[in-house]
Chains A and B, each alone.
Chain A
Amino acid sequence: MTDALIQGILLGGYYALIAAGLSFMFSVMRIINLAHGSLAVFAAYALFVLADSFGISPFLGLLIVVPLMALVGWALQRFILERATRAGPLVPILATFGLSIVIDNLLFEQFGANTRSLANYIGDLSYDSWQLTDDIAVGKLAVLIFATAVALLAGIQLFLSFTPLGRAIRATSEDSDTAGLVGIDARRANAVAAAIAMASVALAGAALGTRATFDAYAGAPQLLFAFEAAVIGGTGSVWGTLFGGILLALGQSFGAQIAPQGFLLGGHVVFFIVLFARLFVPGSALRRQVLAALGRQPA
C-alpha cells in the first residue's frame, strides 16, 4: 500500500510535467492543443536523434531541444493558432487535431513502427534506485522527473507572479482587449506563452523517452494523461496541475493493486469522479462556466 502510494506520487510528477504545457496554454490562450502529446513525442524523437546520431546525452540535448520546441511554440501560435482563433473557438481544436495527425505520420514515415527509448543513453539512472525499506525502493529517474515537474511549476508560478512579462501574459489571458489598452502587445504575450508551453513539452518528451518506450503514435495516450491531469487539477491552476497529476497516478497505482489491467481504468475512474463532482457540486467553477455557457443561472 505504501509502495503504491509512493510510486503513484512519483508517477504523478510525470503527468504534471506533461500536463503543465497543456494547462498553461489553455489558461492563457483558451486553446486546447490536441497536438500536445504528439509534440511531446516529437521532442522525444529529437532527443533520440541527437543521442543516437551525434552521441549527445539526452540531458545535454535538452539545451538544444528546449529552445527548439520554444521556437516551435512561437511559430505554432503566430502561424496557426492565432489565425485559427480568429475563425472561432472550434477551429483551433480542429487545427491542432490536424497537426497531431501530420506530426504522427511524419514521425512514422521517418522512424517507422519500431519503439524507441532514451533509457540506453542515460546510463544507470534508467534503472538505479534508492532502497528505502526492504519492500520499498524509489527510482532515481522517477524522483528526478518529479523534482523537474515541481521546479517547472514553481518556475512558471514565479514567472507569472513576479515578472512584467508574466503579468502581461496573465492580463492578456484575462482580457486581451484591455491588455492592449494598457500597452501590452497581446500577440507577443500569447506567442511567449506558447513558447513556454512548448519548452515544457520538451521536458515532458525527455521524461517520456527516458522512463518508457515511445513510437510515432505514442502522442494520443500522452495527450489523454495530460488532459485528465489538467482537468482533475483544474485547468489553469499551476499547483493544481501537480495535484491532478498525482491524483491521476494514484488512481492508476491503486487500480493496478486491485487488478493488473486496473492501472489505466483506475486513472479514468478518478478522472470521471472529479469531472462529475466539478459538474454537479454547487458552486464549483466548472459548473458555473457550463451553466453560463448554457445561459442558465446557478441554483
Chain B
Amino acid sequence: MTAGGKTLAIESLDVWHGQLRAVHGISFTVAPGETLALVGANGAGKTTLLRAIAGAHLPRSGHIRLGGEDITRLKSHERVARGIALVPEGRRLFGQMTVEENLLLGRTARRPGDWTVERVLDTFPNLKPRLKARAGTLSGGEQQAAAIGRALMSNPDVLLLDEVSLGLAPLVVERVYLSLSDLMKTGVTIILVEQDLGRAMSVANRIICLLEGHAVLESAAQDLTRDAVTDAYFGLSRHTAPVEAIP
C-alpha cells in the first residue's frame, strides 16, 4: 500500500448475473485508510459487488473510480496494477504451487511498497513452517493467511476481503482477525464482506447492509446497534429504504 492511499468511489453500479440483477445502482465512497464492512444475507449481492470492484465481473452500468481514475472497464490484472487486491471467497490459492510461489505471484504487478515475503511471514507466523509446502495441503486457516498475504504482496491501496472467516474454526477466525486489525493500523483501505455481524461491527469504521442487491443501510459503525443492522439484514427495519445514490 502507498502512504496517503486513494479514494475508491462506487457510483450507481449495476451488476447482472445473466438475467438476474444482483447489484442495484449502489453508490458509496471509501476514504483512504477506512475499513468498510459490507454485510447482508446470502444472495444480497456482497460478493458480486466486491468482484465487480476487483474486475472479476464487469458491471452493466455505473462507474468505479480509484483516486479519480475511472477503472470501470479495466481488466482485473490492470486493477491490481492500480492498487486493488481481492482475497476471494474460498481463498482460491494455486494449490499445485508452494506457499512461497503463491506469495511471489502477488508481486506480479510490481507495485512499489513495503510488503515482502518476510513481512507476510511476520504478520502470519503460522505460514513460516509451511513456506515450501504446496498450497493445496494447507489447513483452512493457513490458506486464508496465505491468500491475504498474496494480496498484500501487491502492495494494494484497497484490500477487498470476501468472507475471510467462512469455513474456519472460531479460534482460527480469531487469529485471522487479530492479523487484520494489525493491517488496519498500517493505513490500507479495506472493504470487508462478512456474514458475522458482530465481527464486522467490531472491526469496521462504517457498515453498509445489502438486501437483494440494494444498499438498505449505511452508517458509521459506532452509530449502529446490532438490532438495527439485524433488522436491515433481514429487511425488517424502517431503515430499509434504499440508500440514495451519490449524485
| Interface footprint category on B | 20 to 34
* Contact assessment for A184 and B108 in the assembled complex, using a CB-CB cutoff below 8 Å: yes
A83–B88 alpha-carbon span in the complex (Å): 27
Complex interface: chain B residues within 8 A of A186 (CB): 77
Query: For B55, B76, B92, which residue has the most chain A Cβ atoms within 10 angstroms?
Result: B76
> Chain B residues near A168 (CB, 8 Å)?
105, 108
Contact B80 A182 (CB under 8 A): yes
B86 at interface by CB-CB < 8 Å? yes
Contact across chains for B94 and A178 when beta carbons are under 8 A apart: yes
Instruction: Pick the 6 closest A-B CB pairs, nearest first.
Output: A183-B80, A183-B109, A180-B76, A183-B108, A178-B92, A180-B77
**Smallest CB–CB gap between A119 and chain B, Å?**
42
A171 to B80, CA, bound (A): 16
> Are A164 and B97 in touch, CB under 8 angstroms?
no
**B54→A181 contact, CB < 8 A:** yes
A171 to B97, CA, bound (A): 8
Report Cα–Cα, A183/B94, bound state, in Å.
14
Point out residues on A near B: beta carbons under 8 Å: 164, 167-168, 170-171, 174-175, 177-186
Q: Are A180 and B108 in contact (CB under 8 A)?
A: no
Residues 115-153 of B contacting A (Cβ, < 8 Å): 150-151
Interface set of B (CB-CB < 8 Å, partner A): 54-56, 75-77, 80-81, 85-86, 88, 92, 94-97, 101, 104-109, 150-151, 154
User: Which A residues are in CB contact (< 8 Å) with B92?
Assistant: 175, 178, 181
What's the Cα separation between A168 and B154 when bound, in Å? 14
Q: Give A189 Cβ to nearest chain B Cβ, in Å.
A: 10
- The residue on B at minimum CB distance from A170 is B97
Q: Are A174 and B94 in contact (CB under 8 A)?
A: yes
Q: How far is the CB of B87 from chain A (nearest CB, A)?
A: 9
B105 touches A181 (CB 8 A): no
Residue among A170, A181, A184, A185 making CB contact with B88, cutoff 8 Å:
A181
CA gap between A164 and B96 in the complex, in Å = 16
| Residues in B whose Cβ lies below 8 Å from that of A174 | 94-97
Instruction: Verify B101–A167 contact, CB threshold 8 A.
Output: yes
Residues of chain B with a CB closer than 8 A to A164's CB: 104, 107-108
Indicate which residue in B75, B97, B101, B104 contacts A180 across the interface (CB closer than 8 Å).
B75
Cβ contacts under 8 Å, A184 to chain B: 77, 105, 108
List of A residues within 8 angstroms of B104 by Cβ: 164, 167
A184 to B110, CA, bound (A): 11
How many angstroms from the CA of A176 to the CA of B5 in the assembled complex? 28
Do the beta carbons of A183 and B96 come within 8 Å of each other?
Answer: no
Can you list 23 pairs linking A and B with CB atoms under 8 Å apart? Answer: A164-B104, A164-B108, A167-B97, A167-B104, A170-B94, A170-B97, A171-B97, A174-B95, A177-B56, A178-B94, A179-B77, A180-B56, A181-B55, A181-B76, A181-B85, A182-B80, A182-B108, A182-B150, A183-B80, A183-B81, A183-B106, A183-B109, A183-B154
Residues of chain A within 8 A (CB-CB) of B150 are 182
- Identify 5 new A-B residue pairs, CB closer than 8 A, beyond the known A170-B96, A177-B76, A183-B81: A179-B77, A180-B75, A181-B76, A181-B92, A183-B105
Q: Please name all residues of chain A whose beta carbon is closer than 8 Å to the beta carbon of B101 when the two chains form the complex.
A: 167, 170
A181 adjacent to B108 (CB under 8 Å): no
Inter-subunit contact A182/B106 (CB<8 Å): yes
Q: In the complex, A183 Cα to B150 Cα: how many Å?
A: 11
| A175 adjacent to B56 (CB under 8 Å) | no
Are A181 and B106 neighbours in the complex by a CB distance under 8 Å? no
A4 to B97 alpha-carbon distance, docked (Å): 39
Residue of B nearest to A188 (CB): B77
Most buried by A among B94, B101, B107: B94
**Chain A residues near B95 (CB, 8 Å)?**
174
Q: Of all chain B residues, which has the CB nearest A186?
A: B77
CB distance from A179 to the nearest CB of B (A): 8
* Nearest residue, chain A, Cβ from B95: A174
Contact B94 A185 (CB under 8 A): no
Query: Does A181 lie within 8 Å of B96, measured CB to CB?
Result: no
Q: Are A181 and B94 neighbours in the complex by a CB distance under 8 Å?
A: no
Question: Most chain-A CB neighbours within 10 Å: which of B55, B85, B92, B107?
Answer: B92
A152 to chain B, nearest CB (A): 22
Q: Report the bound CA distance from A164 to B104 in whole Å.
A: 8
CB neighbours (8 Å) of A180 from chain B are: 55-56, 75-77, 80
Q: Is the CB of A171 within 8 A of B54?
A: no
Q: Chain B nearest CB: distance from A174 CB in Å?
A: 5
Q: Smallest CB–CB gap between B170 and chain A, Å?
A: 27
CB distance from A145 to the nearest CB of B (A): 31
Residue among A171, A175, A180, A181 with most chain B CB within 10 A: A181
Across the interface, B86 reaches (CB within 8 A) one of A171, A175, A181, namely: A181
